[in-house]
């Protein structure tokens, strides 16, 4: 098996752009890729490479408590490595990044990234056949510190982002009756990352961030995460 290695130096806020190659090799990376993120954080993203040498993307990570976006420029060097410098933004906070990767076969892209908010690995493919979650009522169960409570949820397909579903509903937790809103991002490997905001009658709120897997029948999912007060949680959904 052929091995490849990465050596990247990221200095403060300085990003080193790739040199333009302009060769026919660019066709190997064009299009939209599903990305499984590991390293300093875990999550899912979708990256789109276009033939004007720009890259855009977005996703959800366990620590982001919402959607993050990516935008940058890319090229392919003389060794057929994909190189990209980009800015990631989450909740209005930017982070600068640079990644180097290689297309394996016809549909796999392996990337190592250094950013101002950590080091990451991206394992990508261009399979976009996604689970279907919408159309039924789901029961959500949240457990924090051995305290459990239930929520009645509706999951609707987003018309704006690939793989995104909108969460809404209500429940009764330790803080009383609450409404629930949020988003859940899924991929073709039945992985899912999301966040939910529990809004209580007294005006207070809690944001939960979670990640995990759906089963292949897509009638349940089990996740682990944390809320914005530092409490670990388990979250499951069943329909």
Could you tell me the domains of the chain? 24-125 (2.40.128.20), 137-238 (2.40.128.120)
Report helix, strand or coil for 148.
Answer: strand
Q: Given pLDDT bands bounded at 50, 70 and 90, which one contains residue 95? A: very high
Cα gap 219→141, rounded to integer Å: 14
Tokens of 140: 């959500």
| Reported confidence tier of residue 106, pLDDT bands at 50, 70, 90 | low
Backbone angles phi, psi at 147, to 5 degrees: -100, 125
State yes or no: pLDDT of 15 exceeds 70: no
CA separation for the pair 25, 232 (Å, rounded)? 46
Residue pair 98/118 in contact by the 8 Å Cβ criterion: no
Whole-number pLDDT of residue 92: 87
Q: In 41-190, where do the E strands start and end?
A: 43-49, 54-61, 67-76, 82-90, 93-104, 108-115, 118-125, 137-144, 147-157, 164-173, 176-186
pTM above the 0.85 mark?
no
């Amino acid at each position: 098996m052929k091995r490849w290695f990465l050596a990247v130096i990221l200095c403060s806020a300085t990003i080193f752009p790739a040199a333009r190659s302009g060769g026919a090799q660019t066709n190997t990376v064009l299009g939209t890729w599903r990305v499984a993120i590991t390293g300093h954080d875990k999550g899912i993203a979708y990256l789109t490479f276009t033939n004007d040498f720009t890259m855009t993307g977005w996703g959800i990570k366990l620590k982001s408590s919402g959607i993050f976006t990516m935008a940058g420029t890319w090229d392919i060097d003389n060794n057929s490595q994909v190189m990209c410098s980009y800015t990631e933004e989450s909740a209005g906070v930017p982070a600068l990044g640079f990644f180097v990767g290689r297309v394996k076969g016809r549909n796999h892209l392996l990337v190592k990234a250094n950013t101002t908010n950590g080091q990451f690995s991206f394992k990508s493919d261009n399979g976009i056949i996604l689970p279907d979650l919408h159309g039924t009522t789901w029961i959500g169960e949240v457990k924090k510190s051995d305290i459990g409570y239930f929520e009645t949820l509706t999951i609707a397909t987003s018309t704006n982002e690939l793989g995104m579903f909108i969460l809404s509903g209500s429940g009764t937790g330790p803080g009383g009756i609450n409404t629930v809103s949020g988003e859940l991002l899924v991929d073709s490997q039945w992985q899912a990352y999301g966040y939910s905001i529990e809004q209580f009658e007294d005006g207070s709120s809690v944001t939960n961030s979670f990640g995990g897997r759906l089963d292949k029948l897509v009638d349940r999912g089990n996740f682990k995460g944390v809320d914005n007060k530092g409490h670990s949680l388990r979250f499951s959904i069943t329909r």
